[in-house]
Amino acid sequence: MFSAWNRRDWPPEERAAAELQGFAVDKTFFSSLKGILLETELALTFIIFICFTASISAYMAAALLEFFITLTFLFLYATQYYQRFDQLNWPCLDFLRCLSAIIIFLVVSFAAVTSREGAAIAAFVFGIILVSVFAYDAFKIYRTEMAPRATQGNQQ
């Protein structure tokens, strides 16, 4: 992979082609397990946002923020633009995104169900489903990305 410093020395036509290629969408990502998990998280977060908008508007900011964070990760993974930032530990960032979403939606879902409104109860149900999806995503990230690196470090 070429870094930004190497691209600066390229001829202008190759530099423009490389910059446009950075936003090409990998359509196979959307049918992969990670793509399906991110799409499910995005859809459920949007549903919870709609439920909170209809019932308790004080909690809709948490759902909206998590919606945009998940959308950003979906964009970065689908375009493979995250590879340009190789200094960041992307599996760790994704794992922390899932853990923070689990905590936020557990707290907000249980707080919303106390209002006993129909939309708040629906947000609670979808919130619990979403927490399980985020937990599965965090588990998969840990098993596939983080655990193998820890065992490689112990062997050396």
CA distance 31 to 46: 20
C-beta separation of 42 from 71 below 8 A: yes
Q: What is the pLDDT along the chain (156 residues), one digit of tens a residue?
A: 344 445 555 566 655 555 555 567 778 888 888 889 999 999 999 999 998 888 877 888 888 999 999 999 999 888 887 878 788 888 889 999 999 999 999 999 888 888 887 888 888 999 999 999 999 999 999 898 877 766 665 665
Tell me what pLDDT residue 28 has.
Answer: 84
Considering the domain boundaries, does residue 11 fall inside one?
no
Q: Is residue 102 assigned to a domain? A: yes
Does residue 111 sit within a domain? yes
Q: How many domains does the chain have?
A: 1
Domain-located, residue 130: yes
Q: Which domain holds residue 141?
A: 34-79+89-155
Within a domain: 50: yes
* Domain annotation covers residue 28: no
